[in-house]
Amino acid sequence: MKQLPNDELAGLCVNPCFMVMAALLSAIALGGTAIHAEPSVSFAENESASLLPTSSTLLQKPSTEKVRSGSTGLELARPSSLVGSTMPASNSMSAGSIQSADAIGAMFPKPASLSAEVQGDRLWLLSTRHMTSAACRANLRNPNFQFNRLDRCGRRSSSDLGDYLSTMTTDRPRIIYIHGNRRDAPTAISQGLWVYRQIASRRPNNQPFDWVIWSWPSDAESVLISDARKKAQKTDAQGLYVAWLLTQHHAHAQPTSLIGFSFGARVVSGSLHALAGGTVGRRSLDQPAITGANFDVGLLAPAVDNTWMSSCGQHRYANQNINEMVMLYNKRDIALKYFRFISGNSNAKALGCTGPRYMAPRHDGTRLPIRARDCASTVGNHHSEQQYYKNSCYAGREMASLISSSLIVH
C-alpha cells in the first residue's frame, strides 16, 4: 500500500495502480492542494517558476465601451482602448505601484505592496453553510443568509442583509469570491482573505472595493469520487442562492464582479444562468429574468463542463449577464483531466482543462470578451488555487483588473 502525497487525503491508502485516479479525484474532490500526477515523475512545488508566462488571448473586444458614472449611474460611450486579438501576458494589466502599509497581524500577513488605501476596503462573510444544499428545497423568496463583517485578521462581527444592501454604491465595486471544494468554514475565511490580499496589493489604482467571501458547505464529507459528486450537486443550490443575491445587486446598480475557483466557478456560471431565467437543478428564480446586468467574471481552473456555457449548454444564459471574463486554466491539471468521472458524461471535458471553446453570445448578440491564459507552464499538474497566484500566471494582477473593469460597461 502507498500513501497519497495530498494532504487532503492524509491517512487514506490506495493501491498504487489507482494512484492517478486518486490524485484526480483528491483535488476534484476539488479543493486543490498540490497534487503529483504521474507516479513515475516528481513535480516540485516551484517546478516552473522560471518559465515565461503564456500569452493572454483576447477572444474579442468591442470597439466602444461605456463608462458608469459613480454619481448618477449614467453610462457614457467612449472609444475602447483595447481592440485586438492577442496580447502578451505582460501587457494585459499593469500592476500598480503601491507603497506598504501597517501589518495586519501575524495570522494573515499582508504583502508589503499593500497601501494604506486598503483601509477603505470593506470585507464581508456571507455563509450558506446552515442552509439546505438541495436545490428542490432551497428558499428562493427570502433566503436566510448569514452575514458578518470581517476585519483583516478574520475576526467577525454580526451583520444582516439590510446592512449589506445599505452600503451599496455605484462608485465602489463589490467582488464576490467563491471558493472550491473541501474547505471548512475557518479555511474558507483564511483562503478568502489570502486571495483578497493577492488582488488588493495589485489593484491598478487606489480604488477601494468590497470583498465578499461566499462560504458554502464544502467540507470534506467522504473520499474521492463520492465527495466530488456530492459537491457537484450542491453547486446547483449555491448557484440559485448567488443568483438571488445578484438580483439585489442589480436593483441597486451595484458594480459587481464574481471570482470562482474550481467548483466555485461552477457556482458562478450557474448563478448567472439562473439570473437570466435559466433552470438550475430543476429550479429557477421566483422573479422575472434579468439580462444585460454586465457583471465581470474571473474563473480559475473552472470545474465546469466546457460545453455548458455554449449556446446549447446547461448554463447557456450565463453570458447574457457577463460584461467581461478573465479565465485562467491549465491543460495539465491532473484533477480536471478526469473530470468525466464526476460529470456522468464519458466525453465530458472541464473548462478549466481545455480553456474556452464554445461560448454563447452576450445579451446583445455580441461575442463575449474573454482574456484567457493556459497556465500549465507555471502551475504544472497541480489543481491548486494558490499556485495560480504564487507563480507567474499573474492571477492576482488579472483578477485585480476586474476592480476597475466593473465600473466600465464594454
486598503: which residue's cell?
A: 118
456560471: which residue's cell?
A: 269
pLDDT band (50, 70, 90) for residue 392: confident
Residue at 7 is within a domain = no
- Asked whether residue 312 carries a pLDDT value surpassing 60, the answer given is yes
Instruction: Give the Cα separation of 88 and 149 in Å (integer).
Output: 38
Q: What is the pLDDT of residue 405?
A: 83
Residue at 47 is within a domain = no
Instruction: Give the Cα separation of 83 and 63 in Å (integer).
Output: 6
Residue at 271 is within a domain = yes
- Residue 289 DSSP SS3: coil
Residue at 30 is within a domain = no
- Asked whether residue 113 carries a pLDDT value surpassing 70, the answer given is no
pLDDT band (50, 70, 90) for residue 112: very low
Q: What is the pLDDT of residue 154?
A: 96
pLDDT band (50, 70, 90) for residue 398: very high
Q: Which residues pair with 257 in a beta bridge?
A: 175, 296
- What are the DSSP calls for 312-365, one per residue? TSTTTTGGGGEEEEEEEE-TT-HHHHTTHHHHS-TT--BHHHH-S-S----TTS
Looking at the structure of the chain, the number of domains it has is 1
pLDDT tens readout for residues 161-215: 999 999 999 999 999 999 999 999 999 999 999 999 999 999 988 899 999 999 9
Residue at 160 is within a domain = yes
Angle at 26 between CA 177 and CA 229, to 5 degrees: 75
Domain that holds residue 173: 55-409
- Asked whether residue 28 carries a pLDDT value surpassing 60, the answer given is no
Instruction: Give the Cα separation of 395 and 196 in Å (integer).
Output: 11
Instruction: Give the Cα separation of 111 and 173 in Å (integer).
Output: 22
Burial degree of 182 (CB within 10 A; 0-12, 13-18, 19+): buried
Residue at 6 is within a domain = no
- Taking the CA of residue 266 as centre, how many other CA atoms within 13 Å lie in the half-sphere pointing to its CB? 29
- Asked whether residue 1 carries a pLDDT value surpassing 90, the answer given is no
Sign of the torsion angle spanned by Cα atoms 338, 343, 348, 353: negative
Residues 6 or more apart whose CB falls under 8 angstroms from that of 344 comprise: none
**More confident of the two residues 326 and 18:** 326
pLDDT tens readout for residues 261-279: 999 999 999 999 999 999 9
Per-residue pLDDT, averaged over 79-104, amounts to: 35
Residues 6 or more apart whose CB falls under 8 angstroms from that of 52 comprise: 377, 392
Element (H, E) at 203: none
- Asked whether residue 54 carries a pLDDT value surpassing 70, the answer given is no
Instruction: Give the Cα separation of 297 and 294 in Å (integer).
Output: 9
φ/ψ region of 367 (left if φ > 0, alpha if ψ in -120 to 50, else beta) reads beta
Residue at 175 is within a domain = yes
Residue at 373 is within a domain = yes
Q: What is the pLDDT of residue 206?
A: 87
Backbone φ and ψ for 370, nearest 5 degrees, come out as -125, 130
The DSSP symbol for 284 reads -
